[in-house]
Amino acid sequence: MNTFFDASSLVRGELKTLAPYDAPYFPEAVKLDANENPYGFPPGVLRKIFSEIGSRDFARYPDPRAERLRESLADYTGVAPENIMVGNGSDELILNIMLTFGAGAEYVVTPPTFSMYGVYGLVASASRVEVPRLADFSVDMESLKRVAGSRGVKVVIICNPNNPTGTATPPDEIEGLLAGTNAVVVVDEAYVEFGGETCIPLLARHPNLIVLRTFSKAFGLAGLRVGYLLAGRSVVRELLKVKQPYNLNAFSQTAARVVMENLPLFRERIEKILAERERLFSGLSGLPGVEAFPTRANFILFRTALPAKQVYGGLLERGVLIRNLDGPMLRRCLRVTVGTAGENGLFLERLRGVLADRN
Ligand SMILES: *Cc1c(COP(=O)(O)O)cnc(C)c1O
């Protein structure tokens, strides 16, 4: 046995600083930390998925091109199938975008934003350039345009609506950015179904745009890992070189397609989430020492007078799991996912308890 072997000595310097992704796991808690859909999957849709999947499907490799799913996505988005690529969650697509375009170059993010961009950028050996958001969490578009126009920048990522702040960026502002850069501009629309404005109409005029979507939030398929992107032909051609042939398994391809064929059921759930979001927002805003930020997604960012760690821990002790986002850009901030009416009521009641218990 080689007792001198040290795997960490074999990896790149940047990887040494990276910690494996670890999500807190409290199966008993009310789970309002990951922006998932709180309503169980519609039983009728589940039955359809099972009846469409034959046992044969598991012995054969899945369709590498996911033709049928891409066709239903074409109906849903109005974008041609050849401009659509599917992924094992949009996480995989972010990594592939970084590997294809970002490796060895610069990519730009607008923090505070989704933390996985940074992880995949680092894994792909891309260098991060940050253009921080303004005090109201809107994108500093003038600075972003300037940075995105510089030669070393190959990828710009805007999360819209933004996780974790809930802020929307108007598509016409994004169009100004697209016109002034030769980098690919990724607009991550993971939450667009909750009231964001899509950049899809810009695809026809801007070959450097990538619109990124997921089934994990509005469509309740987080466990099956399905994401997709919409882009011009030349961008898709490059990305297909990097994509693993069988990245999306047969079960998930079928499930996502059946979801697309039953949209009204999911629209109903989205409407319920939007109504609950308003209730949760006014509930939060009405609490002393709490400031809630306006949101266009299925979560709410809020700031408390108490240290965020104390609020997070107090809620967890009371059986409610949310996200603590405290950091230099989000002082004393936490994020709560809009749950069912029962879950939101419970969260507000427990939060009231934590705030009252401050000494
Ligand atoms: C949740 C989320 C994703 C998504 O996820 P997958 O589950 O990998 O499809 C992508 N971007 C943002 C901003 C998210 O919050």
For position 196, what pLDDT does the model report? 84
Q: Give yes or no for a contact between 183 and 155, defined as CB atoms under 8 angstroms apart.
A: yes
Q: Is the pLDDT of residue 328 over 70?
A: yes
For position 40, what pLDDT does the model report? 84
For position 57, what pLDDT does the model report? 75
For position 94, what pLDDT does the model report? 98
Task: Report how far apart, in Å, the C-alpha atoms of 148 and of each of 143, 202, 247, 334 are.
Answer: 8, 18, 31, 30
The residue to mutate among 90, 160, 215, having the most atoms of ligand 1 within 8 angstroms of its beta carbon, is 90
pLDDT-based confidence at residue 1 (cuts at 50, 70, 90): confident
Query: Whose CA is closest to atom 14 on ligand 1?
Result: 190
For position 330, what pLDDT does the model report? 97
Q: Which atom of ligand 1 is nearest to the CA of 216?
A: 7
Over residues 61-75, mean pLDDT: 97
Q: Among 49-58, 213-222, 280-289, 312-321, which stretch is predicted with the lowest mean pLDDT?
A: 49-58
Q: Is the pLDDT of residue 25 over 60?
A: yes
Task: Report how far apart, in Å, the C-alpha atoms of 78 and of each of 70, 71, 82, 195, 198 are.
Answer: 11, 10, 12, 18, 12
Q: Which atom of ligand 1 is nearest to the CA of 92?
A: 8
Q: Is the pLDDT of residue 3 over 90?
A: no
CA of 327 to the centre of ligand 1 (A): 21
Q: Give the C-alpha separation, 127 to 152, whole Å.
A: 10
CA of 211 to the centre of ligand 1 (A): 13
Q: Give the C-alpha separation, 77 to 198, whole Å.
A: 10
CA of 1 to the centre of ligand 1 (A): 42
Render pLDDT for 106-137 as a digit per residue (tens, 0 to 9): 999 999 999 999 999 999 999 999 999 999 99
Q: Give the C-alpha separation, 292 to 301, whole Å.
A: 6
Residue with more model confidence, 8 or 284? 284
Tokens of 167: 């802020």
For position 148, what pLDDT does the model report? 97
> Phi-psi region for residue 332, left (φ > 0), alpha (ψ -120 to 50) or beta?
left
Query: Whose CA is closest to atom 4 on ligand 1?
Result: 90
Task: Report how far apart, in Å, the C-alpha atoms of 259 and of each of 77, 110, 226 are.
Answer: 14, 32, 11
For position 359, what pLDDT does the model report? 52
Q: Give the C-alpha separation, 177 to 144, whole Å.
A: 8
In a 10 Å sphere around its CB, with 0-12 CB exposed, 13-18 middle and 19+ buried, how is residue 204 labelled? exposed
**DSSP tally for the chain: helices H, then strands E:** 12, 13
Residue with more model confidence, 28 or 225? 225
Render pLDDT for 157-191 as a digit per residue (tens, 0 to 9): 999 999 999 999 999 999 999 999 999 999 999 99
Query: Whose CA is closest to atom 6 on ligand 1?
Result: 89
User: What angle in degrees, to the nearest 10, is found between the helix axes of 250-260 and 67-77?
Assistant: 30
Q: Is the pLDDT of residue 150 over 70?
A: yes
CA of 335 to the centre of ligand 1 (A): 15
Over residues 26-43, mean pLDDT: 92
Q: Give the C-alpha separation, 266 to 238, whole Å.
A: 33
Q: Look up tokens 């960026």; give the residue.
A: 169
CA of 147 to the centre of ligand 1 (A): 25
- 3 state DSSP class of 159: strand
Share of the chain above pLDDT 70, in %: 99
Q: Is the pLDDT of residue 353 over 70?
A: yes
Give the residue ranges of DSSP H helices in 84-232.
89-97, 116-123, 141-148, 171-179
For position 358, what pLDDT does the model report? 64
Residues with CB under 6 A from ligand 1: 35, 89-91, 114, 159, 163, 188, 190, 214, 216-217, 222, 227
CA of 119 to the centre of ligand 1 (A): 13
CA of 111 to the centre of ligand 1 (A): 16
Estimate to the nearest angstrom the gap between the alpha carbon of 348 and the chain centroid.
25
Q: Give the C-alpha separation, 106 to 150, whole Å.
A: 10
Mean pLDDT of the chain: 95
Share of the chain above pLDDT 90, in %: 89
